A and B are shown apart, each in its own frame.
Chain A
């Protein structure tokens, strides 16, 4: 107490000024080090963090792949070869329904993870089921769209524009289909194995995947559908 506490205050002020968020320093300092925080001498990051972050990197690479399809679509948009134009392809009411189904499924997916955090088996399963049914409705609507387009002679081989259209929208539909299978697998695993650590990690990854598909759909309904009918 000889120095009236001044040096400590000055030291704190200096540390806050230099690094307000203490980036890369959490788990150190006055608080006791956190095991598994992944910083400095506190050991490797927890598996939950490693798994989630790794899946995030995969999702970003998936989004880069979608970007390639978006780029192809944008470049080939005008190459209709005298065939159907974007305006002939778009049916806004159905797109509205698809968007509603996917957005609501994203919502119920978030609720299912809330139930997972509350360790409620019943509500996790209920919300996962609702998510799956909404995803199924989305895929069904999209299939119906593709079939009705094909019936009008609008197929991928008709023009470069249609190749880009079916490639981009179809790739997203394929993702939703595969995610639906993953969802069914997760429901079975949650039922049989319960909320074990690795099961919760998989649920985190599934949530991320499902939400990322909704983000890609925002790009599709904006660029492909809505901008297809704007002058």
Chain B
């Protein structure tokens, strides 16, 4: 028996229900489970996408509220994709994945909202272009 005979990294093909899981991965190996998840994801996504295009194409929603409705539908569809396609869930085996995702969302929020906020203020406080031109010597 050599010392090298045992290598924990050798057994990487099968997952155990009791360990943590990376996104896109689950202990469930049966194809039917993955097909069912894909079907559900596709079904929900089609409904949400059609709703988004309908919200714009028809006048079912009060005009000024369309933007908010679109954002809500987009966030909902991203959630559907995360759960059914990427298999990121709220289960205890997914804690690390969800924490990383939460940090990513925080950074995305800071970048997008911060940029819009700061640049909006800058442009609001800027002197109109015609007056700026008059001040040129």
A3 within 8 A of B: no
A49 within 8 A of B: yes
Q: How many angstroms from the CA of A165 to the CA of B86 in the assembled complex?
A: 28
In the complex, are the beta carbons of B86 and A212 less than 8 A apart?
yes
> How many A residues touch the partner, as a band?
35 or more
**Chain B nearest Cβ from A199, distance in angstroms:** 11
Q: How many angstroms from the CA of A227 to the CA of B92 in the assembled complex?
A: 37
Q: Which of A38-46, A133-141, A180-188 forms contacts with chain B?
A: A38-46
Query: 8 nearest interchain CB pairs?
Result: A52-B22, A21-B92, A114-B34, A110-B38, A60-B104, A71-B115, A37-B19, A118-B31
Within 8 A of A (CB), among B86-103: 86, 92-93, 95-97, 100-101, 103
Please classify the interface of chain B as helix (H, G, I), strand (E, B), loop, or mixed, using the class held by over half of its residues.
Answer: helix
Residue-by-residue, is B42-76 near A (CB-CB < 8 Å gives 1, otherwise 0)?
Answer: 10011001001101110000011011001101100
Residue-by-residue, is A47-74 near B (CB-CB < 8 Å gives 1, otherwise 0)?
Answer: 1111111011100110110011011101
Residues on B with beta carbons closer than 8 Å to the beta carbon of A211 = 24, 81, 85-86
- Name A residues whose Cβ lies closer than 8 Å to a Cβ of B: 21-23, 26-27, 31, 34-39, 43-53, 55-57, 60-61, 63-64, 67-68, 70-72, 74-75, 92, 96, 99, 103-104, 106-107, 109-111, 113-115, 117-118, 120, 197, 200-201, 204-205, 207-208, 211-212, 214-215, 218-219, 221-223, 226-227, 229-231
- Name B residues whose Cβ lies closer than 8 Å to a Cβ of A: 8-9, 11-13, 15-16, 18-25, 29-35, 37-38, 41-42, 45-46, 49, 52-53, 55-57, 63-64, 66-67, 70-71, 73-74, 77-78, 81-82, 84-86, 92-93, 95-97, 100-101, 103-104, 107-108, 111-112, 114-116, 119-120
In the complex, are the beta carbons of A53 and B22 less than 8 A apart?
yes
Residues on B with beta carbons closer than 8 Å to the beta carbon of A104 = 42
In the complex, are the beta carbons of B96 and A53 less than 8 A apart?
yes
Given A114-B31, A227-B70, output 20 extra A-B contacts at Cβ < 8 Å.
A26-B19, A34-B16, A34-B19, A43-B8, A51-B22, A53-B100, A60-B101, A60-B103, A60-B104, A61-B104, A71-B111, A92-B53, A96-B53, A110-B38, A111-B35, A117-B31, A118-B31, A208-B23, A208-B86, A221-B52
